[in-house]
Amino acid sequence: MFFFDLHCDTITECHSKDKSLFDSDCHISICKAKHLDRWVQLYAIWMPDEHRGCDALNYFDAVYERFKNEMAENSLYIKQCMNSQDLDDCLSQGKAAAILSVEGGSALAGSLDRIDYIFSLGVKLITLTWNASNELGYGCLVKNGGGLTAFGKQALRKINELKIVADVSHLNRKGFWDAADLSSAPFVASHSTCAAILEKWRKPSDDKYFSLLRSLDDEQIKFIADTGGLIGINFCGSFLGDKGDDGFEAVYRHMSHILDIGGEDVLAIGSDFDGCDINAELAGIDKIPDLARSLERRGMDKKLLNKIFFDNAYSFFKAAMS
Ligand SMILES: [Zn+2]
């Protein structure tokens, strides 16, 4: 089976809990992925909201160092891809392809030059904010947050120029529409789910309120689809449904909704592995074939499943990394 995943926090987990990428109890490890014939994984350096300025730069560097070391130690099995040729070479050699991303524009510490720096390290996707505000804009949990800041707009222009993919997961709705007005390239929501499905299926709770702020409404889904972007379905339990109703059936519901609103080309996977609590049915990269089989039983055909699990994201990143 082929699998392309737009988001995981595994490298951050390797750093903070000293886990090994090769073999561990994490959702993702090289050993757990051995059943995959082709595997492309975006590895996010997650920027916690308590780090800003110099502290954020140091934190980024420490996690990046871990990423680099894991790539070197596991070079027989996995390789970081800097461009689309790398991606194809890597896959044809039977290795897993790693693409580096940053979850949180605080990694720029308010400096446009930092975009050149992280680009030189091979960062191909930047999630503009995490849940709080940063120099670029306001995350989904900021009460009465504004749109992108002046620096956020300058940063997005430069991100576009360097052909880094902008990611709007975690961004608030005003920021989303600012990015939509400004971006000269399609953007992605790397790990998000659908507000309409949560509205309909989740019981009222504070948790539901948070999950609604963190998800995409139909207008956003339509915009991303119409402009050639991608939406990766997040496996985080509370973003899929209520506890106990956050497994395969819930994934099917969110996927079906995106297919209805946005069509077949926009849908992908952004597992959020090692970044959140996930229902046991979905909790690990070794569960991906089971998910595909369950979706097939629910009526999705093989061609569509290939698009969702690999082809859509592969075509998008082949173009973005060319
Ligand atoms: Zn996230």
**C-alpha 92 to ligand 1 mean position (Å):** 30
Q: What is the pLDDT of residue 140?
A: 97
Specify the DSSP class assigned to residue 22: S
- 232 is in which domain, residue-wise? 2-320
Joined together, the tokens standing for residue 315 give 């075509």
**129: its two tokens:** 């904010």
What pTM, to 2 d.p., does this model score? 0.98
Neighbours of 254 (CB within 10 A): 25
What is the mean predicted confidence (pLDDT) over 55-79?
A: 98
Amino acid letter, residue 16: S
130 Cα: distance to centroid of ligand 1 (angstroms): 7
CA of 103 to the centre of ligand 1 (A): 7
- Sign of torsion over alpha carbons 189, 192, 195, 197: positive
Provide the pLDDT for residue 266: 98
Confidence of residue 185 (pLDDT cuts 50, 70, 90): very high
CB atoms under 10 Å from CB of 205, counted, come to 11
| CA of 101 relative to ligand 1 center, distance in Å | 12
Give tens-digit pLDDT for 20-30: 999 999 999 99
Q: Are 201 and 215 in contact (CB under 8 A)?
A: no
Q: Cα(172) to centroid of ligand 1, in Å? A: 13
275 CA → ligand 1 middle, Å: 7
CA 129/CA 158 separation, integer angstroms: 16
- Average pLDDT of the segment spanning 34-46: 97
pLDDT at site 18: 96
pLDDT, average across residues 74-102 = 97
State the average pLDDT over residues 290-316.
98
CB-side neighbour CA atoms (13 Å) of 153: 11
88 Cβ partners below 8 Å, 6+ apart?
Answer: 318
Whole-Å CA distances, 277 to 134, 194, 237, 295: 25, 18, 6, 21
| 96-148 confidence digits (pLDDT tens) | 999 999 999 999 999 999 999 999 999 999 999 999 999 999 999 999 999 99
What residues contact residue 119 under an 8 Å CB cut-off, 6+ apart?
A: 162, 164
Whichever domain contains 173, its CATH number is 3.20.20.140
Going from the Cα of 271 to the center of ligand 1, the distance in angstroms, rounded, reads 10
Positions of E strands within 118-248: 123-127, 165-167, 188-192, 230-233
- Check the CA dihedral 110-115-120-126 and report its sign: positive
Q: How far is the CA of 93 from the centre of ligand 1 (A)?
A: 31
Going by C-alpha positions, the residue among 212, 207, 211, 293 that lies closest to residue 248 is 293
Tell me what the mean pLDDT of segment 41-65 comes to: 97
CA 72 to ligand 1 centroid distance, Å: 26
> Separation of 294 CA from ligand 1 center, angstroms?
25
Instruction: Please give the distance, rounded to the nearest whole angstrom, from the Cα atom of residue 129 to the centre of ligand 1.
Output: 9
- State the distance from the centre of ligand 1 to the C-alpha of 230, rounded, in angstroms: 16
Residue 69: pLDDT band with limits 50, 70, 90: very high
**pLDDT for 252-282, tens place per residue?**
999 999 999 999 999 999 999 999 999 999 9
What total of structural domains would you count in the chain?
1
Phi and psi, residue 232, nearest 5°: -95, 120
pLDDT at 70: 98
Q: How far is the CA of 162 from the centre of ligand 1 (A)?
A: 23
Q: Which H helix or E strand runs over 15?
A: helix 10-17
How far apart CA 141 and CA 205 sit, in angstroms, is 16
Q: What is the mean pLDDT of the chain?
A: 97
pLDDT band at 71 (very low <50, low <70, confident <90, very high): very high
Cβ atoms of 162 and 184 within 8 Å: the answer is no
Rounded to the nearest angstrom, the distance between the alpha carbon of 190 and the centre of ligand 1 is: 9
Dist. CA 236 → ligand 1 center (Å): 9
- Of all residues in the chain, the percent with pLDDT exceeding 70 is 100
